[in-house]
Structures are given as C-alpha cells and as structure tokens.
Amino acid sequence: MGKGPFSFRRTSGRRRLKKTVEIPSSPSTLPLIGGGSSPPNNNNNNSLIGSGAAGKTKKKTGGARLWMRFDRSGSSELVECDKNSIIRRAAIPSRDLRILGPVFSQSSNILAREKAMVVNLAFIKAIVTAEEVLVLDPLCKEVLPFVDQLRQQLPYRTQPIPHGSVEDQDSEIHVPTGRQWLPIPESAEGLQSELPFEFQVLEIALELVCTYLDSSVADLERDAYPVLDELARNVSTKNLEHVRSLKSNLTHLLARVQKVRDEIEHLLDDNEDMAQLYLTRKWIQNQQPDALLGATASNSFTKTAPPLRRFNSSRSGSFITSNCMDDNDVEDLEMLLEAYFMQLDGTRNKILSVREYIDDTEDYVNIQLDNQRNELIQLQLTLTIASFAIAVETLIAGIFGMNIHCPLYDMHGIFEFFVGGTSAGCILLFLLVLGYARWKKLLGS
C-alpha cells in the first residue's frame, strides 16, 4: 500500500532534483587585447567564463573577476574567471585568492605552490605558472604599465624554438619540455641564456614595483625638504600641518617598501622556498622524467657534450646538471632577488634619511620653542619684580592718603621731595631684586 505512490514520488523527486542541480557550462573567451591572438585552449575552457555563461547562471559568475592571460609567446587575452576556475587552472588553494583580494591589498607576498607562483607586490597581483601568467584587474591605472611591459618584453625574451632532432646534438644538447626543445649549445658556457618564464614575469613585476617606489621616494624628497626648511624658519599652524601630512605619507611609503623588502629577504634566507619557485624546472621534470634520466645515463649523451653545469647568469637553460636537475641550486633566483633587494634597501635608506631630516627639524623647532618659552619666563619674572616695586610705592601712597592728621601735611614743599624719594626707593628695590635674580641665574645675561 505504501510502496506504489510513495515510491513513485521519491523517484520523481530525485529526477527533478538532478535536473535542478545540473548547470550548463558553455564558457567563451572575451575579445583579445593586443599582443596578437592565441588559439583557444580546449583544456582550459572551463576556466574562461564569457558573457553567455554569465547570462545563464548568475550564481556562477557572482564572484567572477577580470584577468588578463599572457602565454610564453606574449599572446594576451582578456578573460573573466571565477574563483573555482582559477583554483582549477593554477592548482592553488583558495586562501591564495584571498591574499590577492582587497583585504590584503597593501601586503606583499611571493608564494610558491606546486604548479604556480602567487605574486602580490604592492599594486601587482598575478598568478604565474610555467606556461602562462594571469594578471588580476589589468585595466587599473596602476596595473597598466605592468601589462604593457609584459606585452612588450615577453615576445622578445621567450622566443619559440623549433623542434630539434637527435642528429643535431653534435652542436648542441636538447632538453625535451613536452611541446618544444630547448637547445643548450656547448659554446654557451660563458654566455648568458634567458631566464625561465616565471622569473621573467617576476623580474618585470619587481622592476616596476621598485621603479614606482623610487619615484614615490623622489617625489617625497622633492616635497619634504622645502616644507621642513620653511618650518625651521617659521613655526606656524600651516607649516606644522604640512609636516604632519608629510610624516603620514612617509610612514605609509616606508611600510610598503619594508613589506616588499622583508618578503624578498625571507626568500633569500630560505633556499627551499626559492627552489619551489623554479616552476619551469618542475614542469620539465613532470613532462619528461624518463627521457631526462635516459638521456643522462646514455653514453652518447656524455660523449656529445661535457657535463652540464649552471651558467654564471640567471638563466633557464642552466637547469640541467650532469646527472639530473639540481633542485638545491638556486643561484639564478638568488642573484635576481639580491639585485632588487639592494635596490629596495637603497630606497629604504632614502626614506630613513628623510625621516632623520624630519626628526632633526623637529628637534630644532623644539629647541626654538624652548628658547622662546624661557624668554617668556624671564619676561614674566621681570614684570613680577617691577610689579612688586610698584606695589611698595602704592602701599606708601595709600598709607598717606588716609584721613589721619600727620605733621607732614603742615609742611610746605614736602610733597615733591617725599614722592621723589619714595619713587627712587622703589626703583632701587627693583634693581636689587633684579640683580639677585641674575645672581641666582634665574634670568639670562
């Protein structure tokens, strides 16, 4: 009895629920912006959310944000991706996207993940992989120079290299990367090869951030010294307000420089973190592990070229060693970070010099104010002594002004002598008290 209709209702309920949960996804890319056109990637279509999907499922695009994608060849496209699409595309945890959010807009982080590097430096927020870089909010005024630098430099710094063959190894050694062959010529031992893709993006980001901070410090120095000199000449409410605003800007700028500097210093102190940033090296190992091991163990490999070592410069072709890729070798990134660390340290020293000049000016102003305060105290003491002497003469005049008969009233011509003598006595009393104050060093000489 309870089996027929109730069973039918449960079945239809499941069917209706299943139809409601299913969300059709038909992602589409937005129009390309500069840098040439790139073919659609079928593997990554799930991460590109176009206007069609946004119109069908409002919930899916509720957290979508605007990104610009650059690949190794410099091709760029403007895409709109939600949180889940970015997580699947870059294989990063969700907390990294919160770091790129507005809450941590003033923080600085360079985080290494398994397949990506999360860069949050001042106004630059990007996710870098071994094959592409995703720039957040590329249409912002502060981010546009970074986008332009990527569009200009990536096509020239990461040139595509045609496929090689095994017979061509007489003149160069080829390292398979899955899509292309990266040649490492024997004659390039003393030459400089290119940085890996992720370090090129990181270098562009650090260069723009350091340039921006340097220009901000230069503007601060240009505005600070005239204001401080004016304050030293004239202590007024207007000048004090200018210095207060100047100190606020200096503190904010010093905090931004210090955050970027501390992040780079943290990476330089930990070789493991720097090794995790070698995304191209890990990508090569994951793409062709067997081919690399076989090529290393073969006799033809050792006869073709001497054991490979790292080049002196920070370059991508130096990832291969005589036996295998050395994960502990972080000289490339270390040299790159040390250069910008020294630049940031110089910028920080400039800010500290401005702050020291502000402190010196404040000390000078305080000394001036203390001197004026001492002069006011001396003037107040002098007036107090004069008031005491005048009060004595007033007391004598008040006594003789009483309606009590006195023999002096009957003497003619005594008034001038009496008043003159009383005034002279009060003046003498004033000079005696003033001399005593100077003797006790209560008044300046």
Query: d(Cα 13, Cα 143) in Å, to the nearest integer?
Result: 50
Do residues 133 and 158 make contact, with C-beta atoms less than 8 angstroms apart? no
Lowest mean pLDDT across 40-49, 57-66, 189-198, 403-412: 40-49
Q: What is the pLDDT of residue 189?
A: 38
Neighbour-count burial of 364, counting CB atoms closer than 10 A to its CB (0-12 exposed, 13-18 middle, 19+ buried): middle
Q: Domain 20-154, what fold?
A: Lipocalin (2.40.128)
Query: d(Cα 152, Cα 427) in Å, to the nearest integer?
Result: 88
Indicate the length of the chain as a whole number. 445
Do residues 126 and 108 make contact, with C-beta atoms less than 8 angstroms apart? no
CA angle centred on 414, ends 412 and 418, rounded to 5°? 165
Band of pLDDT at residue 388, cut at 50, 70 and 90: very high
Q: Between helices 237-269 and 197-233, what is the axis angle to 10°?
A: 150
Query: d(Cα 115, Cα 98) in Å, to the nearest integer?
Result: 18
Q: What is the secondary structure of 21-65 as a DSSP string? A: H-------PPPP-SS------GGGGGG---HHHHHH-TTTTTT-E
The type of residue at 200 is Q
pLDDT at 228 exceeding the cut of 70 = yes
Which tokens sit at 186? 């024997």
Contact partners, residue 171, CB within 8 Å, separation at least 6: 185, 186
Output phi, psi for 441, to 5 deg. 60, 35
DSSP label at residue 403: S
DSSP label at residue 164: -
Q: What is the secondary structure of 68-94 as a DSSP string? A: EEEETT--EEEEEE-HHHHHHHHT--H
Q: What is the secondary structure of 256-315 as a DSSP string? A: HHHHHHHHHHHHHH-HHHHHHT-HHHHHHHHH-HHHHHHHHHSHHHHHHSPPP---SS--
Which tokens sit at 373? 């305060």
The structural domains of the chain, with segments of one domain joined by +, span 20-154, 170-368, 370-439
Q: What is the pLDDT of residue 286?
A: 77
Query: d(Cα 400, Cα 125) in Å, to the nearest integer?
Result: 92
Over range 406-415, report the average pLDDT.
79
Q: What is the pLDDT of residue 164?
A: 42
Query: d(Cα 76, Cα 64) in Å, to the nearest integer?
Result: 19
pLDDT tens digits along 109-159: 899 888 899 999 888 999 999 889 999 989 999 899 999 999 888 875 554
Three-class SS of residue 188? helix
Q: Which CATH architecture has domain 170-368?
A: Up-down Bundle (1.20)
Radius of gyration of the chain (CA): 40
Q: What is the mean pLDDT of the chain?
A: 74
Contact partners, residue 158, CB within 8 Å, separation at least 6: 72, 73, 74, 194, 197, 200
What is the pTM (predicted TM-score) of this model? 0.64
pLDDT tens digits along 322-367: 334 455 678 889 999 999 999 999 999 999 999 999 999 999 999 9
217: how many CB neighbours lie within 10 A of its CB? 23
Q: Provide the b/e sequence for 403-438 (b: ≥16 CB within 10 Å).
A: eeeeeeeeeeeeeeeeeeebeeebeebbeebbeeee
Query: d(Cα 158, Cα 128) in Å, to the nearest integer?
Result: 15
Q: What sign does the CA torsion over 152, 157, 162, 163 have?
A: negative
DSSP label at residue 207: H
Band of pLDDT at residue 293, cut at 50, 70 and 90: low
Q: Among 207, 249, 227, 260, which residue's Cα sits nearest to residue 351?
A: 249
Q: What is the pLDDT of residue 295?
A: 56
Do residues 81 and 97 make contact, with C-beta atoms less than 8 angstroms apart? no
